[in-house]
Amino acid sequence: MNKSKVLGSTLIISGTTIGAGMLALPLASAGIGFFTSLGIMLVLWALMAYTALMMVELHQHADSNATLHTLAMQILGKRGKWLASFAMLFLFYSLCAAYIAGGGDQFGQRIESWTGIELPARVGTVIFTLLVAAVVVIGTATVDKVNRVLFTLKLVAMASVLLFLAPNVTQSYLLSMPIEQGLIVAAIPVIFTSFGFHGSIPAIVRYLDGNTRSLRTAIVIGSAIPLLIYVFWQIVTLGVVSQNELLDNQGLSALIAQLSSTVQQTNINQAIGLFADLALLTSFLGVSLGLFEFLGDSLSSKGSSRIVTGLITFTPPMGFALFYPQGFIMALGYAAIALAILAIFLPVVMIMKTRANNQAAAYQVAGGRFGIIFCSVSGLFIVLAQCLITAGVLPALG
């Protein structure tokens, strides 16, 4: 297998994962403290990496061009296909809408700061969407190349932010304990969504020609990179701003303003802003690529062109972002339910059925029955947590 493709696939997974969810992590963790959030992140990373490897096992039962709903149809029948399709569309469209809303606003601000031209918010949103759409419509290889450049720039921007913030970390802030137990449960859906990359797996399977060894490498390393970065990010954010300040001033812009005011450095605001831009953009590329491939598989039988697929991919979330520009943080929590169906319940049910039918697979993820029970219980807990937040029983974050 081409090592360049494996590297590119690893970076697509990392880039998809490290996005708006990372920016929301300090806000979700504000009331629970660093070490509690660290424990939750480790468990959820293990959960998501494990179910991604389940997907690798499942893809051995279909050709390398199969998407999740193709697998669901093959293994579970029409009901499985419709459930997978609904979860995929809900997840992808909600995340794309969130990224367009956040990215479009930041894109307009960057154009104004660089050129002095003040664009109407909606114009900036449309231009931002069209630029990303053009890259995705051209193909996965183009997304790979563009993502490599953006991911590298994002790492540089993030390293700059970490260097600016690290000297200002206060040990007592990191040792803070959870303010209330309800906040621990409320934080789980947002942190869970921050590890979501499963929608891009079918595109990666196709790109790597279904090579199991390469897929395992890309998934394990590609998901571990965000985990490591998240840990450092939590140290320098939760260690610089106190719990009460974060809780009193929720929201992405408020977080950036707090970090900038805490650190007496003239360039910190630009560095954090650039990092936020790149985090949104790389995540948007990965998610929209997954949605495009999913819709392309559904529409290919009808002879639809890539441009038509692109319009169907980007027009609905752009329309939502134009009318609801403040739906950025909230979408991450609601997306957790669809992500749980997509990344946990469907793989678990399909794995159970293929193994019960004794369908041979060259690669079978370890863990057996314990792994299936662990995933199922975790998924139910995540969905329950978000339902309690929606019902107002638990506090809403962000």
Which parts of the chain have pLDDT scores under 50?
none
**Residue 280: both structure tokens together:** 């949104």
Residues 6+ apart with CB under 8 A from 163: none
**Residue 147: both structure tokens together:** 């993502």
Q: Would you give the DSSP letter of residue 302?
A: G
C-alpha to C-alpha distance for 224 and 222, rounded to whole angstroms = 6
The alpha carbon dihedral of 223, 9, 332, 388 has a sign of negative
**Residue 365: both structure tokens together:** 């993820």
In the chain, the amino acid numbered 183 is L
Q: CA-based diameter of the chain, in Å?
A: 64
Q: Answer whether 19's CB lies under 8 Å from 280's CB.
A: yes
Q: Answer whether 99's CB lies under 8 Å from 131's CB.
A: no
pLDDT at 149: 86
Q: Answer whether 307's CB lies under 8 Å from 46's CB.
A: no
Q: Answer whether 101's CB lies under 8 Å from 328's CB.
A: yes
> CA-based angle 3:218:7, to the nearest 5?
35
Give the closest residue to 50 by CA, choosing from 386, 374, 382, 380. 374
Q: Would you give the DSSP letter of residue 116?
A: -
pTM over 0.75: yes
Q: What is the DSSP string of 235-285?
A: HHHHTTS-HHHHHHS-SHHHHHHHHHHHS--TTHHHHHHHHHHHHHHHHHH
pLDDT at 326: 65
pLDDT at 374: 94
H-helix or E-strand spanning residue 50:
helix 34-59
Domain ranges of the chain: 3-390
What interhelical angle do 78-115 and 268-299 show, nearest 10? 140
pLDDT at 349: 92
pLDDT at 301: 53
Architecture of domain 3-390: Up-down Bundle (1.20)
Give the closest residue to 149 by CA, choosing from 166, 168, 135, 170. 135
C-alpha to C-alpha distance for 331 and 86, rounded to whole angstroms = 16
pLDDT at 264: 63
Q: What are phi and psi of 180, to 5 degrees?
A: -155, 155
pLDDT at 253: 63
Q: What is the DSSP string of 141-198?
A: HHHHHHHHHHHHHHHHHHHHHHHHHGGG--HHHHTPPPS-HHHHHHHHHHHHHTT--G
Give the closest residue to 241 by CA, choosing from 20, 34, 21, 59. 34
Rg (CA), the chain: 20
C-alpha to C-alpha distance for 258 and 246, rounded to whole angstroms = 8
